[in-house]
Chain A
Amino acid sequence: MHKYFKKMDVFGKTLKDKMKERTRDNAEEMTAAEKEIGALKEKIREFGLPGEKINSRGMLTIWQRLEILVDEGTWNPLHTLYNPADNDDCTTNVVDGLARINGRWAVVIGFDNKYLAGAWVPGQPENILRVTDLAKRLNVPLIWVVHCSGAKLPEQEKFYPGRRGSGTPFFRHAELEQMGIPVLAGIYGTNPAGGGYQSISPTVLFAHKDCNIAVGGAGIVSGMSPKGHFDVDSAQELIDAAKKHQSAPPGTVDIHADETGFFRYVFEKEEDVLHAMREYMTKLPAYDPEFFRVDDPKPPAYPAEDLYHLLPMNPKRTYVLEEILARLMDGSEHMEFRPDYGPEMYCGLVKVNGMLFGCIGNRQGVLPKGYPEYADYQGIGGKLYRQGLIKMNEFVSLCGRDRLPIIWFQDTSGIDVGNIAEKAELLGLGQSLIYSIQQTEVPMMLVTLRKGSAAAHYVLGGPTANRHNAFTLGTAATEIYVMHGETAAVATYTRRLIKDQKDGKPLDPTVDKMNELVETYHQKSRPQFCAKTGLVDEIVDLKALRGYLEAFASATYQNPKSICPQHQLVLPRIIRG
C-alpha cells in the first residue's frame, strides 16, 4: 500500500512575507489572547499552598510528581480551566492530561495536594468522569497519582452523592478493568474514606511508605459524638482522641502492605513510587507504533507559527482550511475524498506520526457558483448543505469500515435553513450524519477552530458524539453558542418591540434588554467560558495543536479495539479510483 501513502498529494503554500505583514495584527491579537488564557492557567497551576511549603513537609507537589512520572515534552493537559461548579476557591482540584510514560501513552490524573491535601470538591466528579471516559475511548491505561484527603465536608452535598457524583469513578474504574484497561495508582499522604476508595479501586497500587488508606480516617474514628451535640467536655475528648489517632492513623503501610497486601509495592522515597510506575508501564498492553504506520513520521512542511497569520480572529474573515491543515499534518500531505462534491466540507485522509486518519473540516468563504444545487441562492462556507452532509455521511461510514480514527475541525455557523433546505432533506441528513458517526465505533477528536453554532455543532463529531469524541479542543478564537447574540436578541424581543410600539410605549427599555442579551451571549461564548463549563476540554495555543494531534494519534493506535489490515483498506482505493 506504499503507493497510496508514501505519495499522497501535497497541500498548502509557503506564506509570503507580504501576507505575513498584512496579517501581523491578527497574529498579535491571537498571541495576546493566548497569553491571557495562559496566565489564567498559570494562576490555577500555582493555586493553593506554595510548593516550598509542601516540600518542607517532605512531600512533592502534584506538578513535581508529574514531572518525574511523564516523559519530557509529552504532557498534553486537559481540563485546566474546567470548573463546572463555579468554585471560587479552586477549579476541580485534579490535574489531568494525555501523556507518555516510559514510551507508553496513558491518561494521567492526580489530586492537587496543594489545596486541602487533595480534597474532593464540587465539580470534581464531572472532571474525573471525563478522564475515565477518555481512557475508555482511547483504550489506554489510566494512571492515578492519589493524594486525597476525602470530601471537602462543608460542601459535601454538592458532589458526594448522585448518579454522576464522587462515588461514580469507582464504578468507572471497575468498568475499565472489565474492559481490560489497567488503572495504576501511586498513593501518597492520607487518604481516608473517599480517598480510600480512590486508592483501592485501581488495579495495581504503588504506595509511598508514609501513605495510608482507610474506610474512615482519624477525623471520624476519633470524632463520633454520642451526645447529639458538642460541649467543652466533648471538645476536650475530641482533642485527646484526635492527637492519638493522628499520630497513628488507620490504614497505614503496616496494615495494607504487611497484613492485607493491598499495596502491591511500597517505596521509601516519593520519587521511587513514580519510577516504579514508569517501569511498570512496559508490562502493559501496547503495540509497537510500527504495527500501524503507513509511512515514516514527519513534521508538517510548513511552520506552526504560520497558523497565527492564517486563522483570523475576526469571525467574519474567511480563510483557507487546507492552509491550516498543511501546518498540522505529516509532510503537509493528504488524499481528498470527493473533491468535486459538497465543496463546503473538506474530507480526506491525512497522516499524523505516520499513522492514517480521516479528517473532516468546514471550508470558509463563498462557495462555487451554482452551489447549493437545490437553491437559487449562493452558498457560503461554514454552513452545511445537502452534498456536504451526504459526503460526510459516506466518508465517516467508510472511516468506520476501515477502522480509521477521525480528526474533526469545526468552524460552523449552522445548517442551511428555509423551506428550500427542508425540501433538500437537510434535517434528515444531519441526523443521518449523527447516525453514521454513532455506528463507526472509532475514536474521534475535535478542534473547534472558531465557531461552533446551531445544529451543525451537533453533527460535526464534537462532544455530543459522546462515546466517540475522546476530547475537544478550542483555540483563542473559539466561540460556541446556539446562535449569534444579535440573532438571539431578535428572536427573543421582536414581538415585544411590536407590542411596545402598538401600546405606545417607548422602545428604549426593550432595546436595552436586547443589547444586554448580546453582551451576555458574547461573554458566555468566549474561550475561557467554553473551557470553564466544559464545552471544550482545553483551550490550546495554535502552536501546541500538533502536539495534541500526535498524542491522539499515538494513544489511539497504541492498543485499538479493532484493526483493518492496511492492504484491505477501501477508502484510499475509492479516492484514487
Chain B
Amino acid sequence: MAEEIKSPMAGKVISILVSVGDTVEEDDDIMLLEAMKMETTVFSSADGTVTEIKVQPGDKVDEDQTVIIVE
C-alpha cells in the first residue's frame, strides 16, 4: 500500500537523504528542508520501500505537498 510522505511546512528542499529502492522505517530522516532560515529534517511516516521521489534539491514545496512515496 502506498504511503505519501508530505512536507510538514512550506520551504526549499536542501537535500534528499534517500533514493528510490531504499528501505525506510517510520521516523527515519528522509529529507532536509529550509524554512524560516532553519534547516528542518523531514521524517518518514511509514515503513516501506521508496518508490518515487517527487521533488529535487532546490525545489520549493508547499505545506502538505507530497514529496516522497513509500510502499
Residues of chain A whose beta carbon lies under 8 Å from any beta carbon of chain B? 13, 16, 18-19, 22, 314, 316-318, 364-366, 369, 378, 380-382
Q: Are A316 and B37 in contact (CB under 8 A)?
A: yes
- Once bound together, how far apart are the Cα atoms of A498 and B25, in whole Å? 54
From the candidates A13, A18, A365, name the one contacting B38 in the complex (CB within 8 A).
A365
Q: Which residue of B lies closest to A484 (CB)?
A: B37
Q: Which residue of B lies closest to A318 (CB)?
A: B40
Question: Which residues of chain B are within 8 angstroms of A380 by Cβ–Cβ distance?
Answer: 35-36, 38
- Once bound together, how far apart are the Cα atoms of A318 and B34, in whole Å? 10
Q: Which residue of A lies closest to B35 (CB)?
A: A366
Query: Interface digits, B38-51 against A, CB 8 Å rule (1 contact, 0 not)?
Result: 11110000000000
Write the nearest CB–CB distance from B29 to chain A, whole angstroms: 6
Write the nearest CB–CB distance from B8 to chain A, whole angstroms: 7
Question: Which residues of chain A are within 8 angstroms of B40 by Cβ–Cβ distance?
Answer: 318, 365-366
Write the nearest CB–CB distance from A513 to chain B, whole angstroms: 24
Write the nearest CB–CB distance from A340 to chain B, whole angstroms: 18
Q: Which residue of B lies closest to A380 (CB)?
A: B36
Asked whether B53 is an interface residue with its Cβ less than 8 Å from the other chain, the reply is: no
- Once bound together, how far apart are the Cα atoms of A364 and B40, in whole Å? 9
Asked whether B3 is an interface residue with its Cβ less than 8 Å from the other chain, the reply is: no
Q: Are B39 and A378 in contact (CB under 8 A)?
A: no
Q: Are B38 and A316 in contact (CB under 8 A)?
A: yes
Residues of chain B whose beta carbon lies under 8 Å from any beta carbon of chain A? 8-9, 17, 25, 27-29, 34-41, 63
Question: Which residues of chain B are within 8 angstroms of A365 by Cβ–Cβ distance?
Answer: 38, 40-41
Q: Which residue of A lies closest to B64 (CB)?
A: A369
Write the nearest CB–CB distance from B39 to chain A, whole angstroms: 5
Q: Are B29 and A318 in contact (CB under 8 A)?
A: no
Q: Are B41 and A366 in contact (CB under 8 A)?
A: no
Write the nearest CB–CB distance from B37 to chain A, whole angstroms: 7
- Once bound together, how far apart are the Cα atoms of A194 and B36, in whole Å? 56
Q: Are A314 and B39 in contact (CB under 8 A)?
A: yes
Q: Are B38 and A16 in contact (CB under 8 A)?
A: no
- Once bound together, how far apart are the Cα atoms of A316 and B25, in whole Å? 26
Q: Which residue of A lies closest to B24 (CB)?
A: A18
Q: Which residue of B lies closest to A369 (CB)?
A: B63
5 contacting pairs across A/B (C-beta < 8 A): A314-B39, A317-B39, A366-B9, A378-B36, A380-B36
- Once bound together, how far apart are the Cα atoms of A19 and B25, in whole Å? 11
4 shortest interchain CB distances as A-B pairs? A366-B9, A380-B36, A317-B39, A318-B40
- Once bound together, how far apart are the Cα atoms of A382 and B9, in whole Å? 17
Question: Which residues of chain B are within 8 angstroms of A378 by Cβ–Cβ distance?
Answer: 9, 35-36
Beyond contacts A317-B38, A364-B38: 16 other A-B pairs, Cβ-Cβ < 8 A, are A18-B29, A19-B28, A19-B29, A318-B38, A365-B41, A366-B8, A366-B9, A366-B36, A366-B38, A366-B40, A378-B9, A378-B35, A378-B36, A380-B36, A380-B38, A381-B38
- Once bound together, how far apart are the Cα atoms of A510 and B5, in whole Å? 47
- Once bound together, how far apart are the Cα atoms of A381 and B9, in whole Å? 13
Write the nearest CB–CB distance from A415 to chain B, whole angstroms: 15
Q: Which residue of B lies closest to A366 (CB)?
A: B9
Question: Which residues of chain A are within 8 angstroms of B29 by Cβ–Cβ distance?
Answer: 18-19, 22
Q: Are B27 and A13 in contact (CB under 8 A)?
A: yes
- Once bound together, how far apart are the Cα atoms of A318 and B35, in whole Å? 11
Q: Are A316 and B39 in contact (CB under 8 A)?
A: yes
From the candidates A16, A318, A369, A381, name the one contacting B25 in the complex (CB within 8 A).
A16
Write the nearest CB–CB distance from A450 to chain B, whole angstroms: 12
Question: Which residues of chain A are within 8 angstroms of B41 by Cβ–Cβ distance?
Answer: 318, 365
Q: Are A318 and B39 in contact (CB under 8 A)?
A: yes
Question: Which residues of chain B are within 8 angstroms of A318 by Cβ–Cβ distance?
Answer: 38-41
- Once bound together, how far apart are the Cα atoms of A430 and B5, in whole Å? 38
Write the nearest CB–CB distance from A499 to chain B, whole angstroms: 28
Write the nearest CB–CB distance from A449 to chain B, whole angstroms: 15
Question: Which residues of chain B are within 8 angstroms of A317 by Cβ–Cβ distance?
Answer: 38-39
Q: Which residue of B lies closest to A317 (CB)?
A: B39
Write the nearest CB–CB distance from B24 to chain A, whole angstroms: 9
Question: Which residues of chain B are within 8 angstroms of A364 by Cβ–Cβ distance?
Answer: 38
If A22-B17, A366-B8 touch, does A16 touch B28 (CB 8 Å cutoff)?
Answer: yes
